[in-house]
Amino acid sequence: MNPILSEFFQGTCFNAYDYFGAHATIRNHQQGVVFRVYAPNAFVVELIGDFNNWTPVQMTPSRSGVFELFWAEAKAGQRYKYRVHAFEQDSYRDRCDPFGRCSELRPNTASIITDGAKYQFSDSGWRAARGNHYNQPINIYEVHAGSWRKHEDGSWLNYRELAESLIPYCKAHFYNYIEFLPLAEHPFDGSWGYQESGYFAVTSRYGTPEDFCYLVDQCHKHGIGVIMDFVPVHFIPDEYALARFDGSTLYEYPDHSGVRLSEWGSCNFDLVKPIVRSFLQSAADFWLTVCHCDGLRFDAIRNVIYLQGDERNGVNPSGTYFLQQCNKGLRARHPHALLIAEDSTNLIKVTAPVQYDGLGFDYKWDLGWMNDTLSYFMLPPEQRPAAHHRLTFSMSYFYDNLHLLPLSHDEVVHGKKALLDKMWGDYDQKFAQCRTLFTYMYTHPGKKLNFMGNELGEFREWDEALQLDWNLLEYPKHIGFEHYLMDLSQFYLENPALHQDEYDMRAFQWLDANDSEHSVYSYFRTAGGQTLLVVLNLSNRKYPNYTLQFDRPTTLRELISSDTSKYGGRDVTNDWVIYSDDHNRAQIVLAPLGSYIFRVTQ
């Protein structure tokens, strides 16, 4: 038996895409394509496509359940499907290839033969230079490829056009990673890619697989990593894809289980089955190996840990086993890849190594930080003293896992309001608070992720059918806000105190976490021979002589003020060197809803 096939049946395969699907090859001195599909419960599987005028030709079955056929006239660019007869009756379903590398543009569903070796990457230097990322700044720009920008006629930018415009934009805004919402093939634009039909097919909405590889290659050329959103929980229930693929529930849970369908109406992957684990492990590896992505964000991990995401069902051992083995295998193949969990559970070993009974992720989205932070900023100032510790709570559990701070697409849709519009107050107060929100985010320990448009000060919720409101940059407040985010991102990248050793408790220290009366927070960040002091005023009052109490003589020099006029503020700043007095106290001025970063010498 082929070694890939053997591993596939054992649930240990990470490159099943090299065996299954459509592959150019030579047999009996003839150039052609070999097609392989796993359908163990099918009665007959036939191949149809452009190369045979869509006339069904039976594929050869094997005892292992794999159907195979070599076709000499087949070539790259031609469409094909598998006609799967589940029973002896005449009924059948025409299926796209589960391992197909390309698909027709929706609503059409045929797979397309590709030339797997067509694109030649030039990023060997980038890949060789990747190393330990724990002490490096990670500033992620989360992007939906179809709605970042559009042409004047409303059509999408293709992958190569995105390379021309998105990369310089990210460079100018000091993002060093781009995370794409899922780009595996999917039929419904409104799913944003989270209900997929082709796990090995880069969506044809924006071009070919080679075009996408070009985009990744260009990102690497300009020092930007690429993270792909990966969906290991569920798949579409449509008849042309994986659901009841060979007449049986091959990839999903059986009907009698009660969990075949997810809360979204999609089919849950049955992670008990070795072939399903191999399928998903191979899909994950595909983005890292074939497409040269630098990391994966695993979606909806709560639903892997708990069936249907419900803690009352208890931990799903097949789910945690899959995550452990998947991450362990990916780590062995890609030592420096970023493996990120979008997980809302309270498990404390999500980012612990598998050998220590952890799930093996590098980072976990800190959704608790996100929820507490946004709920606080929605409150009117008079209610904030009672909710003061919503902004301090995150540090009480921060070291339980390695956290990433997300302000993602999920927070600006479905009636939740745009980020800026969530803020309490009038027009000016919303901007002032949002600047301070980002000061808090970029100075709080943890890697960073922002959804596209956050930097513009959008007032409109994100809509995948529309491009971002770029016209906002015609208005002074929005221009100043964008400049603040740019300067803050640059400051984060360039100052080691904000990213080195951030998972070491010694790198963060509260100066005063308890000043609820004034709604003021102050804390130190220390690393790389540098100490910074951050002060946040979340009240709507100006404090012209706010007192800071130190434990030793201290000198402060202001580096960033969110209230600077070029950012849209009123220039309430500390433009002088500040020395503590004989009692180690220092006084600073704080703008209403303002934030400040100081260099500290002691």
Relative to beta strand 520-527, strand 508-515 is antiparallel
Compute the distance between CA of residue 410 and CA of residue 370 in angstroms, rounded to an integer: 11
Is the CB of residue 521 less than 8 Å from the CB of residue 511? Answer: no
Distance of CA 218 to the CA centre of its chain: 19
Whole-number Cα distances in Å, 184 to 39, 167, 200, 333, 334: 22, 21, 7, 21, 20
Which residues, 6+ apart, have CB-to-CB distance to 558 below 8 Å? 573, 574, 575, 578, 596, 597, 598
- Going by the DSSP 8-state scheme, the letter that residue 477 receives in this structure is H
Catalytic residue among 7, 252, 270, 299: 299
DSSP 86-104: -SSSS--EEE--TT-S-BP
**What count of other Cβ atoms lies within 10 Å of the Cβ of residue 273?**
17
509, two tokens: 């220290």
299 is catalytic: yes
What are the backbone angles phi and psi of residue 371, rounded to the nearest 5°? -65, -45
Compute the distance between CA of residue 57 and CA of residue 231 in angstroms, rounded to an integer: 33
Is the CB of residue 250 less than 8 Å from the CB of residue 242? Answer: yes
Which residues, 6+ apart, have CB-to-CB distance to 322 below 8 Å? 232, 271, 277, 280, 304
Compute the distance between CA of residue 545 and CA of residue 587 in angstroms, rounded to an integer: 5
576, two tokens: 């002088």
Compute the distance between CA of residue 76 and CA of residue 31 in angstroms, rounded to an integer: 12
- Element at 537 (helix H, strand E): strand 530-537
Compute the distance between CA of residue 510 and CA of residue 529 in angstroms, rounded to an integer: 18
342 is catalytic: yes
**What count of other Cβ atoms lies within 10 Å of the Cβ of residue 512?**
14
Which residue, chain included where needed, has tokens 């709604």? 519
Compute the distance between CA of residue 313 and CA of residue 306 in angstroms, rounded to an integer: 6
- Going by the DSSP 8-state scheme, the letter that residue 42 receives in this structure is -
Compute the distance between CA of residue 570 and CA of residue 581 in angstroms, rounded to an integer: 28
Q: Identity (one letter) of the amino acid at 363? A: Y
139, two tokens: 């500033």
594, two tokens: 């303002």
Catalytic residue among 97, 342, 372, 501: 342
SS (H, E, C) 365-383: ECHHHHHHHHHHHHCCHHH
User: Of 175, 148, 209, whose CA–CA distance to 450 is shortest?
Assistant: 175
Q: Identity (one letter) of the amino acid at 167? A: I
User: Of 508, 520, 523, 496, whose CA–CA distance to 594 is shortest?
Assistant: 520
Relative to beta strand 555-561, strand 184-185 is unpaired
> Residues with catalytic annotation?
299, 342
